A and B are shown apart, each in its own frame.
Chain A
């Protein structure tokens, strides 16, 4: 179960989460002139600083001394969208291998240091990026950063480790595919993004992961793990000058490279409703996801679209879809709609899991059409304004939240006035703005749909359909 907003005590409490009912799912110095190309000290009130080394590595420090803890995040601006077509999962595999041996240290030795420091460590790839992060006690940050620099720059890619990492990734993917909800999303993405780099799931598929060789991993690393394609962030009880000096020591002589662009074709809206039906007689609910192309996170309409989307399907309880499908009719536990936020236009999608798919889909189609035709109401706009401006401080009150916010800002180049200006920009979104955005970016009926369950075509009550066999 997606832990979402559920607050739990122990990251290992898998069993407990399975046992626990929750009401709703929710959507997670030495600053010297010779070593710095330019220092863009943030002009706003937050102690947030962005510097860059001559080799192009961006170094960001968020000074937050309230706890003796430091979070360090490293991001490479290339993710699964950069995987070769027949090597889906390569970006994730590459980043997963960084702590499995580097600079003469074995994977065991690295794990031993991380564990002994009591540090947390995470790594993984998304569509647009590969990243790792570590959380250490403040007294250990130099040891932690020293280790990270070796892992990032000089990974061993030991063949035995590669085989273990492939097995783990492949098992993780296959285990996820046992979950009907994941399978439906997986199939939906493959259909919507046919011929597009976003069709490649970060975990790849079982064949593509099996095909990956050491040469593939080394080539991916050599091409994309270059300083001008990466940035590193520290949040916590640390001074900008100290962090910068240490990053310079660990990464200053890292050589830049030429990063190939990812060819991104324009996504096409389907002419009509196109549906793939996956028969699963043993499943006692019908899982549905449908949608069409969406927009990029940097699209000028993004905020208006976000507010409209919040009113439409942002919450399984209080959005239009939530009220119609869950609260009034009790047809589902979770129903939602989302505009993905990604570098290139992603998707708009809506999903539901229900024993009565025909009824639920009728309601969902109706609500999306109404939002397309008439936009949001004044009450919805006010609520969305209040929600986004009010919840904004919550999202970066913790160091972890700050790290995630800064990664997004830097990755998508949202601008360092983002944190300061966000509430103002939200308030500037008008009803007209939402109406225009919804008319432009929602295309009711032009959906790709994936349905999984113990249902027949007739059970769904869909009209004018092209079935995908």
Chain B
């Protein structure tokens, strides 16, 4: 026991050192137009990653318009006052950079990674995207088709379809139920004027976060940011808050989907609290003890001991609002599913009565602490993490303090979390089954 405690102290020391280091590496400021800027210095490689995240995503989309943020993300690469379609990519490629855009639940992000002698190009591109996009009718239709093809790719993967349908059943009304790409009928109905309107309402400095990470000097970065973004007009955007929108679940739900698949899948989830509930972190530890790695309870039970499943995974994915603790189980055969469900029930009930062991809880905490240090290997990844935390929590420092919160979780809190949330009436179970061949 002492040895374990000692290891934790050591790890915590490493984590703490890394965090102090992060604090000293970050400079943050806000432009008069409202643009929040974070500069993270890491000069160990001559590379700079520039991320602009907008506070808009599938979270903000109204019924009938799901996927609109994603459609806008595609269109925002097309045409500005001075840039023509393809110019952004040509600029980035010809300067030897990487770039991309992505749309998530809570944010739409863009990034450019460059060698540090040419990173200012990223600011030119992102300032143009922020304020100068034009959306000619003539360019809409082909990109609309591209997005439709992207959606078909998702539809044609049975496992993707299963996960999307599951999300929509587990969450009755909260926008987290919607896919980032949107529901097919909504995507079909998009118009260029809807895209223009969404851009006007959501893209401006007061609704964005800019992170510059890598081999930069903060003073120089600030000058450059002022130069490219300082003159853009900022209009504060009031973002709807759906934190408490999802009604309490009052009965078990079930999805049974039959598709032409060779391998069945089981997905079980429970609603868990969002970040405004200080106890939410216990869910991460619970997810780890239950279903992460070979030493997790469910892996041992389902894969090693009973041999009913080939793989087990799971986590409490909560970015901000209440979301779901999910378990992913790949059964060896669909006929084993009832037994698998019974064993999951048994293990969940056991978590409610017996405290987890010291080793189980410390193992999960060690993983979180080590990953926190590992994150810093990649400045591009760090830019992403800081931008995402700034948007989700209003401060990038949440990234810094999260491991501390995890280390404070007690065995009793894990048990109580399980008792409170992993209940039958709060559960949704999905099974993907092979379709019977027609004869």
List chain A positions with a Cβ less than 8 A from chain B: 1, 4-10, 12-16, 18-24, 26, 64, 66-69, 107-108, 111-112, 115-120, 135-137, 139, 164, 167-168, 170-171, 174-175, 177-181, 282-285, 315, 317-318, 323, 326-334, 353-355, 382-383, 386-394, 397-400
B118 and A390 form a contact (CB under 8 A)? yes
Taking CB atoms, residues of chain A closer than 8 Å to B118 are 390
Select B152's contact among A168, A174, A355, A388, beta carbons within 8 Å.
A355
A323 and B86 form a contact (CB under 8 A)? yes
Taking CB atoms, residues of chain B closer than 8 Å to A22 are 100-103
Nearest Cβ on chain A to B43's Cβ, whole angstroms: 9
A393 and B311 form a contact (CB under 8 A)? no
A118 and B142 form a contact (CB under 8 A)? no
Nearest Cβ on chain A to B389's Cβ, whole angstroms: 9
Select B146's contact among A9, A174, A326, beta carbons within 8 Å.
A326
- Complex Cα distance, B158 from A327, in Å, reads 28
A330 and B145 form a contact (CB under 8 A)? yes
Interface string of B34-50 (1 = CB under 8 A from A): 00000000101111000
Select B385's contact among A9, A179, A284, A285, beta carbons within 8 Å.
A9
A179 and B157 form a contact (CB under 8 A)? yes
**Which residue in chain A gives the minimum CB-CB distance to B261?**
A178
How many residue pairs between the two chains, A and B, have CB atoms under 8 Å in the bound complex?
260
B95 and A386 form a contact (CB under 8 A)? yes
A67 and B362 form a contact (CB under 8 A)? no
Interface string of B1-37 (1 = CB under 8 A from A): 0000001001100100110000000000000000000
Extra pairs beyond A285-B153, A330-B149 (6, CB < 8 Å): A19-B58, A23-B100, A68-B373, A116-B7, A139-B14, A330-B146
**Which residue in chain B gives the minimum CB-CB distance to A310?**
B93
- Complex Cα distance, B53 from A180, in Å, reads 33
A391 and B70 form a contact (CB under 8 A)? no
Taking CB atoms, residues of chain A closer than 8 Å to B159 are 18, 175, 178-179
Nearest Cβ on chain A to B370's Cβ, whole angstroms: 3
- Complex Cα distance, B97 from A20, in Å, reads 23
Nearest Cβ on chain A to B305's Cβ, whole angstroms: 11
Taking CB atoms, residues of chain A closer than 8 Å to B388 are 9
| CB-CB under 8 A for A393 and B74, given A9-B384, A167-B332 | no
Taking CB atoms, residues of chain B closer than 8 Å to A69 are 373-374, 376-377
A137 and B11 form a contact (CB under 8 A)? yes
Taking CB atoms, residues of chain B closer than 8 Å to A330 are 141-146, 149
Nearest Cβ on chain B to A306's Cβ, whole angstroms: 14
Select A383's contact among B94, B315, B377, beta carbons within 8 Å.
B94
Which chain B residues numbered 185 to 238 have a C-beta less than 8 Å away from chain A? none
Select B315's contact among A10, A66, A174, A397, beta carbons within 8 Å.
A10
Interface size class for chain B? 35 or more
A15 and B377 form a contact (CB under 8 A)? no
B115: interface (CB < 8 Å): yes
Which chain B residues numbered 148 to 197 have a C-beta less than 8 Å away from chain A? 148-150, 152-160, 163-164, 167, 179-181
B251: interface (CB < 8 Å): no
Select B155's contact among A284, A315, A328, beta carbons within 8 Å.
A284
B126: interface (CB < 8 Å): no
Select B295's contact among A19, A115, A283, beta carbons within 8 Å.
A115
A387 and B94 form a contact (CB under 8 A)? yes
- Complex Cα distance, B261 from A174, in Å, reads 8
Select A175's contact among B144, B163, B262, beta carbons within 8 Å.
B262
B113: interface (CB < 8 Å): yes
Taking CB atoms, residues of chain A closer than 8 Å to B114 are 390, 394
A392 and B104 form a contact (CB under 8 A)? no
Taking CB atoms, residues of chain A closer than 8 Å to B371 are 118
Select B100's contact among A24, A171, A180, A400, beta carbons within 8 Å.
A24
21 contacts between A and B (CB under 8 A): A1-B154, A7-B381, A10-B317, A12-B313, A18-B160, A21-B102, A66-B42, A68-B14, A68-B373, A115-B293, A118-B371, A164-B303, A178-B157, A285-B153, A331-B145, A355-B152, A386-B93, A393-B47, A397-B379, A399-B377, A400-B377
Select B149's contact among A21, A283, A331, beta carbons within 8 Å.
A331
**Which residue in chain B gives the minimum CB-CB distance to A396?**
B45
Taking CB atoms, residues of chain B closer than 8 Å to A7 are 102, 111, 380-381, 384
- Complex Cα distance, B328 from A18, in Å, reads 14
B64: interface (CB < 8 Å): no
Select A15's contact among B93, B167, B369, beta carbons within 8 Å.
B167
B373 and A137 form a contact (CB under 8 A)? yes
B304 and A108 form a contact (CB under 8 A)? yes
**Which residue in chain B gives the minimum CB-CB distance to A120?**
B374
Nearest Cβ on chain B to A67's Cβ, whole angstroms: 6
Taking CB atoms, residues of chain B closer than 8 Å to A137 are 11, 14, 370, 373
- Complex Cα distance, B157 from A283, in Å, reads 9
**Which residue in chain B gives the minimum CB-CB distance to A66?**
B44
Taking CB atoms, residues of chain A closer than 8 Å to B90 are 318, 383
B93 and A315 form a contact (CB under 8 A)? yes
B262 and A177 form a contact (CB under 8 A)? yes
Taking CB atoms, residues of chain B closer than 8 Å to A23 are 73-74, 77, 100-102
Nearest Cβ on chain B to A272's Cβ, whole angstroms: 29
B283: interface (CB < 8 Å): no
A284 and B332 form a contact (CB under 8 A)? no
6 closest A-B pairs (Cβ-Cβ)?
A390-B96, A118-B370, A330-B142, A330-B145, A397-B45, A21-B70
Taking CB atoms, residues of chain A closer than 8 Å to B307 are 164
A20 and B180 form a contact (CB under 8 A)? yes
B415: interface (CB < 8 Å): no
- Complex Cα distance, B159 from A67, in Å, reads 38
B378: interface (CB < 8 Å): yes
- Complex Cα distance, B178 from A29, in Å, reads 56
Taking CB atoms, residues of chain B closer than 8 Å to A391 are 96-98
Nearest Cβ on chain B to A275's Cβ, whole angstroms: 20
B326: interface (CB < 8 Å): yes
Taking CB atoms, residues of chain B closer than 8 Å to A167 are 310, 332
Which chain B residues numbered 356 to 399 have a C-beta less than 8 Å away from chain A? 359, 362-363, 366-371, 373-374, 376-381, 384-385, 388
- Complex Cα distance, B363 from A108, in Å, reads 14
Which of B42, B45, B328: most chain A CB closer than 10 A? B45
Taking CB atoms, residues of chain A closer than 8 Å to B245 are none
Select B310's contact among A18, A168, A323, A392, beta carbons within 8 Å.
A168
Nearest Cβ on chain A to B83's Cβ, whole angstroms: 13
- Complex Cα distance, B113 from A170, in Å, reads 38
Interface string of B232-272 (1 = CB under 8 A from A): 00000000000000000000000000001111000000000
B105: interface (CB < 8 Å): yes
B381 and A333 form a contact (CB under 8 A)? no
Nearest Cβ on chain B to A30's Cβ, whole angstroms: 26
B377 and A16 form a contact (CB under 8 A)? no
Interface string of B320-332 (1 = CB under 8 A from A): 0000001010101
A400 and B98 form a contact (CB under 8 A)? no
Taking CB atoms, residues of chain A closer than 8 Å to B103 are 20-22
